Structure 1
Amino acid sequence: MTVTVRFAPSPTGYIHIGNTRPALFNWLFALKNGGNYVLRYDDTDVERSKQEYSEAIAIDLDWLGIKPSRVEYQSKRFDVYQRAVDKLKEAGLLYACYETAEELERRRKIRLTRRMPPVYGREALKLTEEEKAAFEAEGRKPHWRFLLPNFAENPFETQRTEVHWDDLVRGPQTVDLASMSDPVLVREDGTYLYTLPSVVDDIDMGITHIIRGDDHVTNTGVQIAIFEALGAKPPVFGHHNLLTTVSGEGLSKRSGALSIGSLRDSGYEPMAVASLAVLIGTSENVVPVATMAELATKVDAAATSKSSAKFDPSDLDALNRALIHQYTYADVADRLAAMGIEGEQAESFWLLVRGNLERVADAALWWPVVFGDLNGKPELSDEDRDFVRAAFELLPAEPWDNTTWKTWTKQVQAETGRKGKTLFMPLRQVLTLKDSGPELAELLPLLGRERTLSRLP
């Protein structure tokens, strides 16, 4: 059996780091097991689904390193869903209901006042053909509910009916179908709710494992019942914990600052995002992982915490820095070239500045500092200016290497009596116009004697 997983986003907005968690869990599971990955757009909500969002999701997943083996659109499969609807109707497992939302709410409140569970009472099963015709004459259109198999003979006498599955993340799980309402699968306008297309597609596309957020746990019992009603064996389910904000609030598509597109545009590295989205809330330490293949070896669904995982953007900053500081020149050469950073000294430059970068794009800020003309002069006291001029008089002759700085400053210290910060800070400010930055011992050979002298205040 070939492992086949799916990620099924709704293209009604941009995916965020919370959506990225199931997308990545499925991708890494497929990688680890040599399986297939289906990207399936849940776009049955024709009014809210937009092609621009579908395209953005594809771009975001590709940026993260997720490469689907198959792409499907549920909006192109309505005929398949209708065949499933017809099959369930013929089996007597899908029945027409005519209640309005207000009527259903009124019944729910009555059941609660009577200390009864607020589940649908299957009143529609009692309708005669004449009563149905009367509703139709009023202009009412039916919605269609799936008859859960939670009774022996009389559907109005439900009994405890347990559905069991061994969850990849949570272990043995049990849901009692008697505690649930018959789910609506088809709306009054003939469109399908998520549950039916999802199950039908999982069957048709050979999905072997469904890995998703634990907010779907209660849906699983119903979906298993529908799988079986359609004559199919249910896949293996796994329900991981969800990401929340630090304050415990759920993430949503309205959190634009956390969309994958905005994180990409802000200069974050894809593996920094992937490492945090996957490792947070697991038994693994949250560390920057360089490749998807390596990350796949660290992910064990069973080792995921049962409680929600809190996402802190500052953690992403730390991972991003750590990744960048590990990058070789080859890792970033193309991106540097796109910024105009190329040539025989580009690699030495990268090795010099990478430890001071928050984003790879920040390298462009340092290139003119090292190889250009500084825009301005530092504000120095008269005493510091005199010290710097005296130090520049002591600059060694070329060639320069990474020992030149030590040789030079040792002589400057001997001549001026300055040491520590009072010696190094004025020189750094003159050479870079900054109070911090790369090691000056490595910077000096790249500057060269002529460019260094040009910065004399």
Structure 2
Amino acid sequence: MSKTRTRFAPSPTGFIHLGNIRSALYPWAFARATGGDFILRIEDTDLERSSQAAVDVILEGMAWLGLTHDEGPFYQMQRMPRYKEVLAQMQAQGLVYPCYMSVAELDALRERQMAAKLKPRYDGTWRPEEGKVLPPVPEGVQPVLRFRNPQGGSVVWDDKVKGRVEVSNDELDDLVIARPDGTPTYNFCVVVDDMDMGITHVIRGDDHVNNTPRQINILRALGQEPPVYAHLPTVLNEQGEKMSKRNGAKPVTQFRDEGFLPDAMVNYLARLGWSHGDDEIFSRAQFLEWFDLDHLGRSAAQFDEAKLRWVNAQHLKAMADDALAPLVAEQLARRGIQADERLAAICGLFKDRCDTTVALADWAARFYTDDAVQPSAEDRAQHLTPAVMPAVAALADRLEQLTSWDKPSIAAAIKEVLAAHGLKMPQLAMPVRVLVMGTPQTPSLDAVLALASQQKILARLRSA
């Protein structure tokens, strides 16, 4: 069996979103799982709508998710001489023919067909056949080139998602594969690319399934056997519509900026159309060990941000503190905050409470800014009562006397103040947390205080 070669071939006509990037994840994973190659191709022939900014988001998004390609990126616009070379070969072999039917004539033909309740399709007016007299060539008209689609029989393939698919050749008209100016069309470019790049498996969205029988026929006309196809069901947004920029889908890179982890995104995206038993949380290595094309789902998957946040939270908790710290430092830097060596310990203390690195940075920022987070009026009224404030003042005095600012020394000071004032831990800890962190809910109080500077804690306790 030949080496697996898969590809991702996005069009840079809009910012790549999660629905698009899933069509990169599966071919990447299949190539990695089978020791094959993953090729990146940019289908940029739509000059009006393609943009460098969209290309940049594709490259950034894939790099962030770790979907590294082995070859490419190849740009179709740079391969035009090759397409024209193959077109010339096909003309010489009689596989294509010039068609002079104008757009107006084609529209009129379709209207007549629809009025007669027929499927609108090109009727082969200019297709040369033995004994057929073609119409006179109109003057000054540049023809399109049409592919001589086989007549009779069917195109059949075993799709790894849809199962056996059969399309009658009589349903397919002769496809335009070159425009009047000689530039090749999308379906033709794709075939030449897949042929030249030796693609063995085409894993793509099922919006391409109608192109597949045409592409198979062109490949076979060129003497090639078609690859294995797997057409993935659509990814729906939270409203149940097809995910698209028009329907509010976010660029993939926005999830990076919002504090999601690449491994969590890979985990979540993998489950949008593939499964390994009931496993919900898994590492990248496990995913690549388990991934195959036999467990791809047949029904549309729906994006659920709450589920994504849950998956991200699980990965956040499992991540080593020193690996998490640089990601949180990036988030802090965007706020103009410079982190220090305490950050890994801060991450370890608060990561169980967070679902993104942004949420973790919200906690961390409280250790790096001089201004305390202001508690809500409700928390202030509930916890900073006249009855407890003497104990808070006593704790400030006791903490000021500490010569070692560490967790055991702070814990001992708190214990002394509790005993002296006849209080239980929550009665003192809640108001101290409100003053120090702006909220009554934090991890262990002595651990929180130990990570902040002694001067800052004293200032906040005496600010009430």
The TM-score normalised by the length of structure 2 is: 0.85
Q: Which runs of 5+ in 2 are unaligned?
A: none
The structural deviation recorded for 1:41 is 1.1
The structural deviation recorded for 1:410 is 5.8
Give the corresponding residue for 2:291. 299
Give the corresponding residue for 2:441. 436
Give the corresponding residue for 1:52. 53
The size of the alignment, in residue pairs, is: 443
Correspondent of 2:82 among 71, 74, 80: 80
Q: Does 1:249 align with 2:241?
A: yes
In the TM superposition, 1:1-20 aligns within 5 A as 1-20=2-21
Partners of 2:157 and 2:164 within 8 A in 1: yes
Q: Which amino acid aligns with 2:237?
A: T
Partners of 2:391 and 2:417 within 8 A in 1: no
Q: Secondary structure at the match of 1:62?
A: helix
Partners of 2:316 and 2:351 within 8 A in 1: yes
Q: Which amino acid aligns with 1:341?
A: A
In the TM superposition, 1:250-329 aligns within 5 A as 250-254=242-246, 257-284=249-276, 285=278, 287-291=280-284, 293-329=285-321
Q: Which amino acid aligns with 2:164?
A: P
Partners of 1:10 and 1:262 lie apart in 2 by 19
**CA 1:277/1:100 → structure 2, altered by over 3 Å: closer, same or farther?**
farther
Give the corresponding residue for 1:142. 143
Partners of 1:417 and 1:265 lie apart in 2 by 48
Give the corresponding residue for 1:366. 363
Partners of 2:238 and 2:458 lie apart in 1 by 51
Give deviations 1:164-207, integer Å, cap 9, x for gaps: 22222233322222222222211223222211011111111111
Partners of 2:329 and 2:425 lie apart in 1 by 37
Partners of 1:439 and 1:420 lie apart in 2 by 11
Give the corresponding residue for 2:125. 123
**CA 1:274/1:255 → structure 2, altered by over 3 Å: closer, same or farther?**
farther
Q: Does 1:389 align with 2:393?
A: yes
Give deviations 1:147-173, integer Å, cap 9, x for gaps: 21123xxxxxxxxx2222222223332
**CA 1:274/1:413 → structure 2, altered by over 3 Å: closer, same or farther?**
same
Q: Secondary structure at the match of 1:195?
A: helix
**CA 1:206/1:281 → structure 2, altered by over 3 Å: closer, same or farther?**
closer
Correspondent of 1:114 among 116, 123, 139: 116
**CA 1:446/1:50 → structure 2, altered by over 3 Å: closer, same or farther?**
closer
Give deviations 1:132-153, integer Å, cap 9, x for gaps: 422xx2x4322222121123xx
Partners of 1:418 and 1:132 lie apart in 2 by 103
Q: Secondary structure at the match of 1:185?
A: strand
Give deviations 1:265-289, integer Å, cap 9, x for gaps: 2232222222222212333457454
Partners of 2:215 and 2:235 lie apart in 1 by 24
Partners of 1:294 and 1:46 lie apart in 2 by 40
**CA 1:308/1:34 → structure 2, altered by over 3 Å: closer, same or farther?**
same
Partners of 1:150 and 1:405 lie apart in 2 by 86
Partners of 1:129 and 1:83 lie apart in 2 by 29
Partners of 1:79 and 1:377 lie apart in 2 by 65
Deviates more, 1:182-191 or 1:105-114: 105-114
Partners of 2:298 and 2:118 lie apart in 1 by 30
After superposition, the CA RMSD in angstroms is 3.0
Give the corresponding residue for 1:341. 339
In the TM superposition, 1:116-195 aligns within 5 A as 116-125=118-127, 131-134=135-138, 137=139, 139-151=140-152, 161-195=153-187
The structural deviation recorded for 1:367 is 3.8
Deviates more, 1:280-289 or 1:412-421: 412-421
Partners of 2:347 and 2:364 within 8 A in 1: no
Partners of 2:164 and 2:417 lie apart in 1 by 73
Q: Which runs of 5+ in 1 are unaligned?
A: 152-160
The structural deviation recorded for 1:50 is 2.6
**CA 1:99/1:439 → structure 2, altered by over 3 Å: closer, same or farther?**
farther
Give the corresponding residue for 1:158. none
Give the % identical residues: 33
Give the corresponding residue for 1:157. none
Partners of 1:323 and 1:130 lie apart in 2 by 67
Give the corresponding residue for 1:154. none
Q: Which amino acid aligns with 1:26?
A: P
Partners of 2:145 and 2:290 lie apart in 1 by 44
Q: Does 1:356 align with 2:353?
A: yes
Correspondent of 1:201 among 193, 200, 205: 193
Deviates more, 1:376-385 or 1:214-223: 376-385
Give the corresponding residue for 2:216. 224
Give the corresponding residue for 1:155. none
Give the corresponding residue for 1:425. 430
Partners of 1:368 and 1:147 lie apart in 2 by 66
The structural deviation recorded for 1:75 is 0.8
Give the corresponding residue for 2:41. 40
Partners of 1:170 and 1:302 within 8 A in 2: no
Give the corresponding residue for 2:31. 30
Q: Which amino acid aligns with 1:433?
A: G
Q: Secondary structure at the match of 1:124?
A: coil
The structural deviation recorded for 1:307 is 1.2
Give deviations 1:49-72, integer Å, cap 9, x for gaps: 233332332222111112211111
Deviates more, 1:198-207 or 1:345-354: 345-354
Q: Which amino acid aligns with 1:389?
A: A
Give deviations 1:218-245, integer Å, cap 9, x for gaps: 2212111111100111111111212111
Partners of 1:223 and 1:101 lie apart in 2 by 24
Give the corresponding residue for 1:156. none
Partners of 2:432 and 2:461 within 8 A in 1: no
Deviates more, 1:228-237 or 1:45-54: 45-54
Q: Does 1:69 align with 2:61?
A: no
Q: Which amino acid aligns with 2:7?
A: R
Partners of 1:177 and 1:222 within 8 A in 2: no
